[in-house]
A and B are shown apart, each in its own frame.
Chain A
Amino acid sequence: MKGTGLSNWLASAAMALALAVASPALATDGVLDRGIGSEWSSLDPHVNFDAAAGWIQSDAYEGLVNFDGEGKVIPGAAESWEVSEDGKTYTFRLREGLKWSNGDPLVAQQFVDGILRTLNPETASEKGYYFYSVIQIKGAEALANGETTDPATLGVTAPDDRTVVVEMETPAPHILDIMGSFQVAPLHGPSYAEAGSAVFIDPAKVVGNGAYVIKEVVPQSHVLLEANPNYWDAANVSIKQVKYHVTEDVVTELKRFQAGEIDITYDIPVNQIDQLKADMPDEVIIGPSTEVTYYTFNLTKPELQNIDVRRALSLAIDRELLQEKIVKGGAIPSYSYAGGFDPTYQGPTIPEASMTQADRNAKAQELMAAAGFGPDNPLKLNIVTTVAEDRIRLAQGISLMWKQTLGVEASVESLERKAWLDSFYAGTWDVFADNLVGDFAGAETFLAYMRPSADAGYNWDKPEFDAQMDVAASKADRAERNVELAKAEQILLDDVLFAPIAIEPFRRLVSKKVKGYAVSVAGYNNSQFLSLE
């Protein structure tokens, strides 16, 4: 116990007050103020797993590739790259004269070191799976599992100071989506050896290679970044200071936006969207994110083993009405699992997507009756969801639709997030309000999640699906691969393992003085591509 005495307490209070009074209000001119929701869980680029903290990371570090204002892949630290004939080897060519923020030269091996650190069990990072699961880099899994510690076994090498070679077990055209700073931030060895993890957190010790450098870190308050003069494209970085504020409370964040304290918010209070759209139409930006919501059926429950029952439940959900009148959070109703936001992917939808809701309801009633359920013998279910307000409303809406259309008695059980996750594997649900955030803006990230199909939780054992995913994984060409992925999604949807519900939105208020902010499905809106009026 620190500060046990009254005098100690007074002393620290007085000191803190002195600090508060002494620090002059930072000039708001030229500073971009961005909300990030909850506090970052880590500023260590090889450990951080939060999307919002990823924005700070994208400003402070640059990967082999970067993402432009609209989230499209553009050259980053690498000015170009080549793909081998079989699609398994990517050779990245770094720009000439790249430097760290402290002026040290940035060399190819430091990208290899970054990946090695992420995979190293001692780092206890959850991001290693990007390298052995999302794409399969040679040797990555063995390193992550601690089967070997030999860095030479990794399929990422630096034959010279400007070349990074990535060798994979199978072709993966989506590799570029995970070559940004969120996954492959380089590691400045000398400062890390000296200061350890402080090199990512302590502004006095931070060394980065992004457009900005971390200048100030106040937990639960903010992270201040300043333009990095040693960044290769520093001349084109318009905003010189960026401040990421912790904005845990969405209502306070809105007020801070209205008062001009925040320029780009993290979210918008759901119940005020309509009003804000009317009041400030140009400042409300709502677009699709890589998060999908779907209601998973428990295949171990005898009643739900009948595919017609599952199909009826899926059909009886009026997805449009749900989002427009009940949840009203800006989500996009969805009839597929993996498609919808990736324009290169033409995936399947549930076959009844083209029917009217009235026809869908009629068909659902028929299927339900045929399965032996009716007013005298109603199907009883429990829906397990999280406690977030819009999730509860969604579950209640669906429960109501099932009741009205099918006479199903569905109770809604809302659990806080960790308990909700736990209950999934415990199987203590009939219908699970599932959601998944993709690793990149592509269909494959979602389909790969269902693989192997026999994995715990879903209790879905479908060798055809796994085989089809293997076929897709063998294709190096993105278009060909998407065709095969669509077939896999068809197998998934045909089994009505779950009812697709919606693509979740991102919601932001962006001040009129911020220029260059565009909808980015992948969620990247680097400050370097923005400017202030």
Chain B
Amino acid sequence: MIRFVVKRLWNGALTLAALVTLTFFVMRLAPGGPFSKNRKLSPEVIANIEATYHLDEPLWMQFGRFVWGLLRLDLGPSTRFRDYSVGDIIASGLPYSLTIGFWAVIVATTVGIALGVAGALRRNGFTDYAAGTIGVIGIAIPIFVIGPVMQAVFALKLSWVPVGGWNDGWRSLILPVIVLSLPNIAYISRLTRTSMIETMRENYVRTARAKGIGEWRTIWRHTLKGTLLPVIAYLGPATAAIITGSILIETIFALPGIGRHFVDAALNRDYPLVMGITLLYGGLLILFNIATDLVRAWLDPRLRHDG
């Protein structure tokens, strides 16, 4: 087991290294720089600003500087947000993204699994159709449609929650969490339903039933465990994506999370910030994938020896 973890971590580190190296050089191919402005600055002033941010050095040297900074956990200064270092920006935005993401994952898994189980148990019944409908809506209607509609109804019309911003404590969280969890509820409930139906046909479940174990006890002790395997496989990368902040959610609901920074940083050629967020996203994705594999191995002994 430990060997498995170490091996996965090592592979993850290699992947991450390849990702940041590639990102570092590819982003420099885009035309324009962080200080391109349509104000003609004197060459001395431009040279001076570039020197401050080491943009005048050859690319390999800048890369070396980046790696050296990384080893000391210093991601450098942001060129777009001059008051902050990349570390500051991530530290300031991440808690917001984490909070929304955390609740969205909780809501998505509980509601999604509940709907899926209900659908599987009462196949083609009302619950199943209701869950199916929610599933189709959640997957088919994009966030940028559902978000504004919900704002119009619950914030503008009913005034239950604010339209956006993070100024009203938990009330600011409600809409973003719902909107962010909807597509995941949909996906998880479909996965759960299919998987549950399959699992219920498995011999060990039939055996349990044959032994006269009660309906709920069978579900709880035998069926659910097998059912959840594909859900957990989905949850790993999905969680990484959700908690690192959704640019759409953060834009629509004017939230101060980290997601918006990614696009903003790329558009503004904020090289250090792009690197910082790439590292964060890549790292989280890899870690959650490893975590997923561990949980699945724990749930399903067959996977433990694949290493």
Say yes or no for B37: interface residue by CB 8 A criterion.
yes
- What 1/0 mask marks residues of chain B from 91 to 120 whose CB sits below 8 Å from any chain A CB? 111111011011100000000000000000
Known interface pairs A220-B261, A419-B31; A246-B256 also in contact (CB < 8 Å)? yes
Say yes or no for B151: interface residue by CB 8 A criterion.
yes
Question: Which of A12, A129, A253, A421 contacts B32 (CB under 8 A)?
Answer: A421
Tell me which residues across on chain A come within 8 A of B172, comparing CB atoms. 20
Tell me which residues across on chain B come within 8 A of A2, comparing CB atoms. 90-91
Considering the complex, give the chain A residue whose CB is closest to the CB of B253.
A252
Known interface pairs A126-B41, A144-B44, A417-B267; A261-B165 also in contact (CB < 8 Å)? yes
Tell me which residues across on chain A come within 8 A of B163, comparing CB atoms. 252, 255-256, 258-259, 261
Verify B291–A261 contact, CB threshold 8 A: no
Verify A252–B251 contact, CB threshold 8 A: yes
Give the segment of B59-67, B78-86, B131-139, B205-213 that binds chain A.
B78-86
Tell me which residues across on chain A come within 8 A of B53, comparing CB atoms. 124
Scoring B33, B45, B81, B257 by chain A CB atoms within 10 A of each residue's CB, the highest score goes to B45
Say yes or no for A42: interface residue by CB 8 A criterion.
yes
Known interface pairs A12-B94, A25-B167; A259-B83 also in contact (CB < 8 Å)? no
Verify A129–B45 contact, CB threshold 8 A: yes
Tell me which residues across on chain B come within 8 A of A49, comparing CB atoms. 37
In the bound complex, CA of A374 to CA of B88 (Å): 60
In the bound complex, CA of A426 to CA of B31 (Å): 10
How many A residues have CB within 8 A of the partner chain? 79
| Interface set, chain A 445-463, CB cutoff 8 A to B | 449, 455
Considering the complex, give the chain B residue whose CB is closest to the CB of A256.
B163
Considering the complex, give the chain A residue whose CB is closest to the CB of B280.
A1
Considering the complex, give the chain A residue whose CB is closest to the CB of B81.
A41
Question: Which of A121, A141, A200, A249 contacts B251 (CB under 8 A)?
Answer: A249
Considering the complex, give the chain A residue whose CB is closest to the CB of B40.
A455
Min Cβ gap A264→B in Å is 15
| Interface set, chain B 153-188, CB cutoff 8 A to A | 155-156, 159, 162-173
Question: Which of A9, A129, A200, A419 contacts B30 (CB under 8 A)?
Answer: A419
Verify A421–B81 contact, CB threshold 8 A: no
Known interface pairs A13-B99, A20-B166, A222-B165; A421-B41 also in contact (CB < 8 Å)? no
| Interface set, chain B 22-39, CB cutoff 8 A to A | 30-33, 35-39
Tell me which residues across on chain B come within 8 A of A39, comparing CB atoms. 81, 264
Which B residues have a C-beta under 8 Å from some C-beta of A? 30-33, 35-42, 44-45, 48-49, 52-53, 80-84, 88-96, 98-99, 101-103, 148, 151-152, 155-156, 159, 162-173, 243, 251-257, 260-261, 264, 267-269, 279-280, 283, 287, 291
In the complex, besides A218-B92, A219-B89, A248-B260, 12 extra interface pairs with C-beta distance below 8 angstroms are A13-B243, A17-B170, A24-B169, A25-B171, A42-B82, A132-B42, A145-B45, A220-B256, A248-B251, A248-B254, A252-B251, A422-B36
